[in-house]
């Protein structure tokens, strides 16, 4: 039987025990420079903020290229309609203009009569200036799948243009997309009804007119109006 070791000349350690080095005296914490980290974080944050502010500024101040088109208060004053006037008669006095302005979209309307007030052709003009979004992706789909009739593509007027002749020469219309602008001119026959007479027929109506070739006149007047809307 093995007895416990005796203490001879000093302290003995039990057999099999491994001597571990005395733990080193803990070093003082590294002082470092926390303000450099804080400064670095502030610089990064400032850069991100400045980049966001720059992008925001570009989106607010830059926006899409309007190609010179302007906000219009009186669309009728801009529309000379020389082609239509030559074919259908002079502008009558019953002219109506309206306009609505918004940060994203300006809209202007004009309605008038060419020829005698009660027997002439009604003309409607619409102007839309898109100041933020691009109207292009949805424009063609609107006219190529229109329930109002078979619109025909027209070349040489703006970016994209469509023309429709109403059955029986009752009217016609042409619409054009030019960059951020949509512009439409429609011509239609008018009818005046007598409320006291129940004949089923209008008391007065637009004089019959030959509208063949009106697509050329509408194209000429639209091109002239697009130029006027940039002045």
Over residues 92-127, the pLDDT tens digits come to: 877 899 999 999 999 999 999 999 888 899 999 999
CATH code where residue 148 lies: 3.40.1000
pLDDT average, residue stretch 17-27? 48
- Print the domain residue range for 80: 75-193+204-228
**Would you say residue 183 lies in a domain?**
yes
Cα separation, 223 vs 113, in Å, equals: 20
pLDDT at 50: 39
> How many CB atoms sit inside 10 A of residue 33's CB?
8
**Would you say residue 166 lies in a domain?**
yes
**Would you say residue 46 lies in a domain?**
no
**Would you say residue 132 lies in a domain?**
yes
**Would you say residue 92 lies in a domain?**
yes
Q: How confident is the model at residue 207 (pLDDT cuts 50, 70, 90)?
A: confident
**Would you say residue 172 lies in a domain?**
yes
**Would you say residue 52 lies in a domain?**
no
Q: Model pTM?
A: 0.69
pLDDT at 197: 56
> What is the number of structural domains in the chain?
1
**Would you say residue 38 lies in a domain?**
no
How far does Cα 86 stand from its chain's mean position? 35
Give the closest residue to 221 by CA, choosing from 112, 78, 69, 72.
Answer: 78
């Amino acid at each position: 039987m093995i007895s416990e070791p005796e203490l001879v000349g000093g302290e003995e350690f039990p057999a099999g025990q491994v001597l571990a080095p005395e733990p080193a005296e803990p070093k003082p914490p590294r002082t470092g420079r926390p303000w450099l980290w804080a400064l670095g974080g502030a610089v990064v944050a400032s850069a991100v903020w400045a980049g966001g502010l720059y992008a925001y500024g570009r989106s607010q101040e830059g926006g899409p290229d309007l190609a010179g088109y302007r906000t219009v208060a009186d669309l009728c004053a801009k529309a000379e309609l020389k082609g239509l006037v030559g074919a259908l008669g002079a502008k009558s006095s019953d002219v109506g203009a309206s306009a609505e302005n918004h940060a994203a979209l300006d809209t202007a309307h004009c309605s008038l009569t060419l020829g005698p007030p009660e027997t002439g052709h009604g003309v409607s003009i619409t102007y839309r200036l898109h100041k933020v979004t691009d109207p292009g992706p949805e424009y063609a789909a609107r006219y190529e799948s229109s329930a109002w009739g078979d619109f025909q593509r027209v070349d040489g007027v703006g970016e994209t243009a469509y023309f429709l002749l109403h059955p029986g020469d009752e009217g016609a219309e042409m619409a054009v997309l030019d960059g951020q602008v949509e512009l439409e001119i429609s011509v239609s026959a008018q009818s005046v009804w007598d409320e006291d007479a129940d004949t089923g027929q209008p008391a007065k109506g637009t004089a019959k007119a030959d509208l063949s070739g009106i697509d050329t006149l509408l194209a000429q007047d639209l091109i002239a109006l697009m130029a006027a809307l940039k002045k």
